[in-house]
Structure 1
Amino acid sequence: MPALPVPVVTIGLLVLSNIFMTFAWYGHLKFKAAPLAVVIVASWGIAFFEYLLQVPANRIGHGHFSAAQLKTLQEVITLTVFSGFSVLYLGEELHWNHALGFVFIGLGAFFIFHRWS
């Protein structure tokens, strides 16, 4: 069985790591009564699993992608995961200005990934 292509593995690991990190950073917002110290320790525990995916993603992807491209992938994936999380988990709405801001970030990603000759 052939190995998966580097971009598929890298992006897959980044998506999974972002799911963990989004819960680590924002999941506690539904539990405002929880003591801050408990929230911090729980968030660190969740972030540990994020690092188990993020570090290999960058290690595997570097060489195929530049560091700037890896960071850009990370940010685009972060916004995509966060958008879903915000709507589905936190019950918040996304508005036109959020969409427009994401379009501008996508435009920035285009400039990072485009091969300029």
Structure 2
Amino acid sequence: FNEGKVFKIATVDEWLDCGTLPAWLETTGEIVAKENPTFNASKFPGSEIIPPVFIAEGVNIESSKIGPHVSIEEGTTIKNSTIKNSIIRDNAVLDNVETEGSTIGAHTSLKNVKGKVDVGDHSNLEIE
């Protein structure tokens, strides 16, 4: 059985669960708070960014309030929105969204949405 592979062990100080949407949100919020990533607020004129937040490269934020405890992946665009304690996956587009405690999938488009939402990848939701 031994084909030259070496197993190593590591000490884990804290186990963070991601098995449910609420646990994923809580864990992401804790990681963002612990890592306290830096961002350049001048990239987002007219917006308020409230740490701790993770904002990936290539994110566009206009006239919005983001944070605390928000993770935004690359390629996402957010306009005229307020986002708190949420995870926004890559290449999402949010316009006029007010949400807290939400998980928003990759390549998702939300417009005029108010309240908590959990939407998967490639979803479109527009409230008229």
| TM bracket, shorter-chain basis | under 0.3
- Normalized against structure 2, the TM-score is what? 0.25
Question: Which is bigger in relative contact order (C-alpha 8 A, separation at least 6)?
Answer: 1
Which structure: greater helix fraction?
Answer: 1
Structure whose residues are more often strand by fraction: 2
Q: TM-score, normalised by structure 1?
A: 0.26
